[in-house]
Structure 1
Amino acid sequence: MNKPIPTPRACYLLKNKAYAYCTCNNSKDKPYCDGTHKGTEQKPLLFKVPENEKAFLCTCGSTKNAPYCDGSH
């Protein structure tokens, strides 16, 4: 059986709003952190954008440019 190909999530990010990107890859709200990592050494990647923007955020955890998808999947 073939695995589904992960797809990035299109997001509209707001200027200067704080976001928490999931780095544990277990969040039910990928690409955003939902606290699933609690009790581990994992921490979310906190970020802001300088201007409102539409972005494709990684949901597979393979990107080298987190939180943005770089096509690594």
Structure 2
Amino acid sequence: MPFDLYLKSANGTVAIRNAPDSDREFAESLVDLLRQGMPADEILTIEHNRGAISVPWGELRGVWIEDV
């Protein structure tokens, strides 16, 4: 089932919409990494079919998945 991946930072929320189910494991690992904590100066970059999103881990306030 396709899903939307949301990244919330100090600058707002960005969504990668209609991601294929084959990417779900990757998305779930992002949620787990955020819970564990990552170095604030590391940059999370996600490449997708419409470009890329980059967010410093220190600015990331939430990551979640919603089924569509």
Larger Rg: 1
Q: Same fold (TM over 0.5)?
A: no
TM-score between the two structures when normalised by the length of structure 2: 0.33
Say which structure is richer in strand. 2
Higher relative contact order (CA 8 A, sep 6+): 2
Say which structure is richer in helix. 2
